[in-house]
Amino acid sequence: MIREEIVHINEIPKKLLVFLHGYIDSSDSIDRKISLLDNLQDFAIHIPQAPLECEIHESKRQWYSMHKFDPEDERRTVPTMDECIALYNRMAPGLAEANDYIQPYIENALDEYGLDYKDLFLCGFSQGAMCALYTGLMFPQKIGGVISFSGILAGHKRALKEAKTHPDILLIHGNSDNLVRYEAMDFTASKLKEIGCKVETYTVKNGNHMITPDALVQAAYFIRDRV
């Protein structure tokens, strides 16, 4: 169960933005990086803390175990994208487990503000992006949108099979990412389009595995276009 969070409320919330932090990360770290999104008017911005202690750094958090499904971190070193995708596909049980506490947390927040699914924007970075993409497909009604920073549609076979809705999605990825391959963006876009999602992409030129100011500007544009 998610018990910790950072919350920003701008005026009377008419929309909810939830941002999921990455692996070996924390809600406090993301809070320091997304200041541009604080300018969104009439938004409640929630940055929940993953409830699991990170398996390789006890002071950080994780949404699910990466080493359980890829103990040697081969996803970073295998020579082909197909091999990389196969390793991420193993993670479906971890994503489903994370969804079991992320989705109720978000639905409780929507109830708190008296908002509907269409008022929700779900964002995430790295492992948090993987969770955002997976969970965004699992709500009973279409949400306002999903934004993935440096992510991939992990567990894609299960996600596509069990998807209940097809939200609009923005994929943001640096073309010099050293942790989640840049090719993940095209793979994710193609799979999401297959099930009817409207997908936009943005490449951070020379971007590494991080959230950059221009990426945040694109995220804000994406959200404002749908408000």
Model-level pTM? 0.96
DSSP string, 109-147: HHHHHT--GGGEEEEEETHHHHHHHHHHTTSSS--SEEE
CATH code of the region 5-224: 3.40.50.1820
SS3 category, 2: coil
157-207 pLDDT per residue, tens: 999 999 999 999 999 999 999 999 999 999 999 999 999 999 999 999 999
Across 114-141, average pLDDT = 98
Alpha helices in the chain (DSSP H): 27-31, 81-89, 92-113, 127-136, 156-162, 183-194, 213-224
Residue 156 has pLDDT above 90, yes or no: yes
Write down the pLDDT at residue 10: 84
- Sketch the domain layout of the chain as residue ranges: 5-224
Across 74-92, average pLDDT = 97
Across 207-226, average pLDDT = 94
Looking at the chain, the whole-number percentage of residues with pLDDT higher than 70 is: 99
